[in-house]
Amino acid sequence: LDNKLNTRNSEGNAINGNAFVDITPIEGLKVTFNGAFNLDETRHSYVYNPYYGQFDSTGGTVSKYHTRTYDYNLQQLVSYARSFGDNNFDILLGHEYYDYRYYELGASKSQMFSQGNKELDGAIIDGQGASSYKERRNNEGFFGRLQYNYDERIFGSASLRRDASSRFHPDHRWGTFWSVGGAWLINKESWFDASWVQELKLKASIGSQGNDNIGDFLYTDRFNIINSNNSLGTSFKSKGTKDITWETNTNFNIGAEFQLWNRVTGSIEYYRRKTSDMLFSFTVAPSLGYASYMDNVGNMVNSGVEMDFNVNIFDTRNFTWDVNVNISTLKNRITMLDPDKLITTEYTADGKGYKGYSNGSFFIGEDLSMFTWRLKEYAGVNEKGESLFYKNVKDEAGNITGRETTTNHAQADYYITEESSIPKVYGGFGTKLKVYGVDFGINFTYQIGGKQYDGTYAYFMSSPYGTAGYNYHKDLLNSWTPENTNTNIPRFQMNDQYSGAMSTRFLTNASFLNIQNINVGYTLPSKWTRKLAINSLRVYMSAENVFYWSKRKGFDPRQSYDETTNATFYSPMRTISGGVSFEF
């Protein structure tokens, strides 16, 4: 009943726009001014009734919140294009400024006069929760670019930009980024006479770009202002790092694009992305009074190959068949950590050591993936059906001499699994058919490799607490019992705190194959539709997120690379739709 009396209302208004001015004082020279803005305001009203539920003792509570977001972007560009015979040049110089502002105001009061008055003035006791704050950040950049092509066959480009971000200390606010690239259309050369090749392009590029995607004011210590027994007080909020600066991503790409026999198109490209001065939250001991701080912790490399192929197998008047495939490989490695970040050495189950530091359920170490799992190792169940975990056995000098099992999860040791949540290969494939007006298409997506922590499955495999009802996984039917000892699932027992404890037990292969969509349609013959003054009429049905296969037990491996998958996330919804499309 209280849910029917409680109300939560939100309303708002938004406006955005953009404008530009182009001026051409002389031939080839253009001056451009671009401007864009966005304004978004939202008002929230929450009312909790005074009659039933958790707020009945307060006489009802009313809360009001107002948020306002405003940002704008200004650009000034000067470009000049000129040709000298087959040589074509295009020069661009520019300046850009971006400003973002956010405001929030909130308050609450209790002891409402009536349920009909849902305003703050309709209640009499201040909630001592009135608050307001604002955020502001801005970026500024100067940049230049030169583009060149020779006879539309040979292409080159170079760029340089200087960017500043308010998220860094004024001494480290500016960064310099650049790029160069080129391409060659071999098929346009006079000496190239392979008639079966319609296009053959070689291309390569290398360049850098900056990343400032962190919070605001992380370069300085921050404090909360608090009420200390009705006196002004402060509490420590977060540790700042004055020297943090831009994370730089340097990308190298080399590849080819082609079209063959008027039927095969595709591209093959190798990429290598080096991240320098990687921005990352560095975890510290709780005894320092804070949990972590932001810093430039080291370097990382992502590399792989991307391939895309489209083949027209048949192409006749009444029968066409096309197939497409794309494949991407990915290798992720941390290549260097700052020496002061190599604070601990942790080991794999077979005793191999890595230097670095832990970050939640991951271990950040050199020659490891960014998302390498660090977990306690599950060892099955004992003769009583209790969960077992491994722990190290050490000699008097503290050296590891072996391992043994324990039923106490807190006594178990963490191990570097050398398993990453990042897949080794991913992509998609599909086909399209059209036969006498009937068309059919199906597309798949897939992922090969990677391990994910199935927290949802662990939740459904946990023993119950209290008296409330629970959802369970069917695998609990195979729990240990005196009659069923050949199992690695612990006994099902009230208040067993280790039955769903975090360990390698719930580390699952994240490979999957997914039917992304299926489309079926029929286009009526034009000789029928023309009688109705319709040029084309097609009846169709489609299905999205049809089905997928994986070793998952509870979570969807398409959700994320980290451990934030849980029972509150839903897989993409299966959708079936149909309709009629026509052209006059």
| Residue range 166-207, pLDDT digits in tens | 999 999 999 999 999 999 999 999 999 999 999 999 999 999
Angle subtended at Cα 52 by Cα 49 and Cα 53, rounded to the nearest 5 degrees? 95
Query: Which of 434, 437, 431, 430 is closest to 319 using CA atoms?
Result: 434
Is the pLDDT at 382 greater than 50? The verdict is yes
Coil/strand/helix, residue 297: coil
Is the pLDDT at 469 greater than 90? The verdict is no
Query: Which of 374, 390, 393 is closest to 382 using CA atoms?
Result: 390
Confidence of residue 573 (pLDDT cuts 50, 70, 90): confident
Query: Which of 65, 69, 137, 130 is closest to 103 using CA atoms?
Result: 69
What pLDDT is recorded for position 1? Answer: 47
pLDDT digits (tens, 9 = 90+) for 416-433: 999 999 999 999 999 999
Coil/strand/helix, residue 521: strand
Q: What average pLDDT does range 433-455 have in this prediction?
A: 95
Q: What is the pTM of this model?
A: 0.86
Burial string for 42-80 (b: 16+ CB within 10 Å, else e) reads: eeebbbbbbeeeebeebbbbbbbbbebbebbbebebebe
CA 494, CA 491: separation in Å to the nearest integer? 10
CA 60, CA 114: separation in Å to the nearest integer? 9
For residue 302, which amino acid is it? N
Q: What average pLDDT does range 37-61 have in this prediction?
A: 87
Instruction: Name the more confident of 470 and 205.
Output: 205
Is the pLDDT at 376 greater than 60? The verdict is yes
Query: Which of 431, 299, 414, 317 is closest to 367 using CA atoms?
Result: 299
Q: Look at 160-174, 215-229, 460-474, 536-550 and tell me which has the smallest mean pLDDT.
A: 460-474
Q: What average pLDDT does range 488-505 have in this prediction?
A: 92
Give, for 339, the enclosing helix (H) or strand (E). none
Is the pLDDT at 542 greater than 80? The verdict is yes
Coil/strand/helix, residue 474: helix
* pLDDT > 70 fraction of the chain, expressed in percent and rounded: 95
Pairing between β-strand 378-381 and β-strand 372-376 as defined by DSSP bridges: unpaired
Confidence of residue 60 (pLDDT cuts 50, 70, 90): confident
Domains of the chain (ranges, CATH numbers): 2-420 (2.40.170), 425-461+500-583 (no CATH)
Report the C-alpha dihedral over residues 511, 512, 513, 519, rounded to 10 degrees.
-140
Q: How distant, in Å, are the alpha carbons of 55, 114, 225, 554 from that of 121?
A: 18, 11, 27, 48
Is the pLDDT at 66 greater than 80? The verdict is yes
Extended beta strands in 113-246, E state? 123-126, 131-150, 154-165, 174-185, 197-211, 222-228, 231-238
CA 442, CA 435: separation in Å to the nearest integer? 15
What pLDDT is recorded for position 576? Answer: 94
Mean predicted lDDT score pLDDT of the chain? 92
Confidence of residue 567 (pLDDT cuts 50, 70, 90): very low
For residue 146, which amino acid is it? L
What pLDDT is recorded for position 532? Answer: 79
Q: Look at 30-34, 223-227, 529-533 and tell me which has the smallest mean pLDDT.
A: 529-533
Q: How distant, in Å, are the alpha carbons of 25, 74, 92 from that of 31?
A: 8, 14, 10
pLDDT digits (tens, 9 = 90+) for 322-333: 999 999 999 999
Confidence of residue 45 (pLDDT cuts 50, 70, 90): very high
Tokens of 253: 């790409």
Neighbour order of strands in the sheet with 400-406: 378-381, 387-394, 400-406
* pLDDT > 90 fraction of the chain, expressed in percent and rounded: 73
What pLDDT is recorded for position 495? Answer: 86
Angle subtended at Cα 292 by Cα 288 and Cα 295, rounded to the nearest 5 degrees? 120
